[in-house]
């Protein structure tokens, strides 16, 4: 499994021959827009955690270019189906065995209104079990006790957690989230994109290190292999 970070909560995940884009927000991100050409992104599936602009902005353009299937909660899936896109609706607690692996849509504590004010259902995250590696994409969320449910079903190899504070968990709560999901290897996302969520990278990494955990912060366009 290869995971590439494209800023905010945007990820490209390759599992075997399958390409997955998560929460595409590139053309609106000052930190990413000149570094990534959305028309060059390959996608068989686009996973959307919730309907906020900083998670869906480029979803329609990428789906149009790639014919990717949009996977999200029921309301978001219906929003895109009405625009003619192929979708796979899910809802909280549900699993589906895709060709690349199992996906579960899990709880997040946040909101999920589309930029135009229409209903984006309830926000979520994804647990992906694929190619003998398991990851948790928390999406935008507060620290929540529901995270303790995840390791009852899945032994995680990586937790992808928001760390920018203000709109989501900050560093200290992300460290506790890492305890709750029983995964000490964390990829930090949802930081530095706007003034409200700028973080001190050195301080963030030191806090994780002091908790005997590993916080990875990737440059935009950089990848890790699991
Ligand atoms: Ni959000
Ligand atoms: Mn967000």
pLDDT band at 100 (very low <50, low <70, confident <90, very high): very high
The token pair that represents 69 in the structure block: 């299937």
* Predicted pLDDT at 135: 98
How many angstroms does the Cα of residue 33 sit away from the middle of ligand 1?
19
Q: pLDDT category, 13, cuts 50, 70, 90?
A: very high
Q: What is the pLDDT of residue 131?
A: 83
Ligand 2 centre and the CA of 123: distance in Å? 11
Collect all residues with Cβ–Cβ distance below 8 Å to 91 and sequence separation of at least 6.
73, 74, 105, 121
CATH topology of domain 2-225: Metallo-beta-lactamase; Chain A (3.60.15)
Query: 140 alpha carbon to ligand 1 midpoint, in Å?
Result: 5
What does the domain layout of the chain look like in residue ranges? 2-225
């Amino acid at each position: 499994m290869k995971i590439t970070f494209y800023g905010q909560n945007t990820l490209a995940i390759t599992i075997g021959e399958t390409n997955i884009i998560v929460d595409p927000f590139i053309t609106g991100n000052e930190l990413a827009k000149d570094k990534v050409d959305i028309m060059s992104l390959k996608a068989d599936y686009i996973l959307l955690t919730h309907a906020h602009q900083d998670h869906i902005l480029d979803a329609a353009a990428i789906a149009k270019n790639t014919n990717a299937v949009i996977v999200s909660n029921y309301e978001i899936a219906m929003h895109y189906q009405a625009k003619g896109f192929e979708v796979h609706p899910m809802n909280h607690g549900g699993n589906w065995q895709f060709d690349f692996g199992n996906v579960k849509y899990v709880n997040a504590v946040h909101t999920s209104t589309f930029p135009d004010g229409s209903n984006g259902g309830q926000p979520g995250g994804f647990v992906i079990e694929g190619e003998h590696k398991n990851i948790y994409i928390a999406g935008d969320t507060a620290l929540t006790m529901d995270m303790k449910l995840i390791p009852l079903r899945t032994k995680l190899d990586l937790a992808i957690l928001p760390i920018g504070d203000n709109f989501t968990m900050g560093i200290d709560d992300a460290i506790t989230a890492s305890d709750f999901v029983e995964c000490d290897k964390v990829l930090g996302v949802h930081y530095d994109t706007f003034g409200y969520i700028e973080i001190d990278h050195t301080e963030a990494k030191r806090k994780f290190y002091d908790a005997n955990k590993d916080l990875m912060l990737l440059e935009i366009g950089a990848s890790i292999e699991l």
